[in-house]
Amino acid sequence: MTGKTVLVTGAAGFIGSNLAKRLLQDVQDIKVIGIDNMNDYYDVRLKEERLKELSDYTSFVFIKGDISDKATVDNVFDEYKPQIVVNLAAQAGVRYSISHPDAYILSNIIGFYNILEACRHSYDNRQTGVEHLVYASSSSVYGSNKKVPYSTEDKVDNPVSLYAATKKSNELMAHAYSKLYNIPSTGLRFFTVYGPAGRPDMAYFGFTDKLVKGETIKIFNYGNCKRDFTYIDDIVEGVVRVMQHAPERLNGEDGLPIPPYKVYNIGNNNPENLLDFVTILQEELVKAGVLPKNYDFEAHKELVPMQPGDVPVTYADTTPLEKDFGFKPSTALRDGLRVFAKWYAKIRKGIALS
């Protein structure tokens, strides 16, 4: 990736900002173009803090804009001619999709279509164009699949939320564009990403906010949920490795392109029970001084039924990722939550986190 121009959409987001920072730190002569609409789905000040870190790099360009606006996307491609595109911009959250479906259609469907079209037209007039499109999918596409661990070979035609349906749609759209226009594309199904400066709507962050305020946390499905928690550094490492190896362009026996298209899971391959997760989080928050040593956890816990759109377990089969890229996420949950707790202790006075 030395000397290349990379477009990262959702650059002020949790994964986007960490990816941009890693690229700017580690890759020589790289230019990173970041775009983000800075919406208020959660506290914008957290996004601004992430961008502030990136602004120290002279080879980082930030554009405030929305990928659902076709003219904005086309202008970015025309001006900067990115060789690698990493589409991380999306309306996130399973539960929010139940009450605010419009946001998901705009960002996740129309926005992604605009990115695909821009990639397609990057080859106009015999230009080299986009070498690799990498885009975020989600473990949510597996719905309530009973077979675990989840494999990218599994049938995923039964989404249990609109969010999951939009992510599966992204994979289908990318496949069609890869086939029709020979665009090398790789979809990444992320599994419950966590870490410092993460999304406040995620369980570990939301639980922490509530415990600090002395409120009760709700543990769904009476604690009988398992999640494949994946630390942010492992996610970024996986994305960086995938970015550098676009699926090969090949023709079939009919002379037409075989879609240069791949999908991988990026997960920890080690689901944790939600009650164990909450115990570890509480212990690390006490160690970091976020909560007092005599905090009564039992008084602030409530076991409740499963909620719409949720699934009882997520569990990633990462065999293809290991085989193709020699990488498997491995950060232990306690280690990752310890870093988060220390970050929360430092930052909570400066930013309203909820």
Looking at the annotation, which residues are catalytic?
163
**Tokens 């659902």 belong to residue:** 68
Give all strands (DSSP E) within 140-209, no chain letters: 185-190, 193-194
Distance CA 205, CA 290 (A): 12
Shortest CA distance to 227 belongs to which of 319, 140, 340? 140
Distance CA 101, CA 94 (A): 10
The pair phi, psi for residue 107, each rounded to 5°, is -80, -50
Secondary structure class of 187 (helix, strand, coil): strand
Q: Got the DSSP string for 243-274?
A: HT-PPPPEE-TTSSEEP-EEEEEES-S--EEH
DSSP lists the bridge partners of residue 78 as none
Shortest CA distance to 118 belongs to which of 70, 80, 166, 151? 70
Give all strands (DSSP E) within the chain, no chain letters: 5-9, 31-36, 60-64, 84-87, 132-138, 185-190, 193-194, 217-219, 226-227, 230-231, 250-251, 257-258, 261-266, 272-273, 301-303
Angle at 208 between CA 202 and CA 211, to 5 degrees: 135
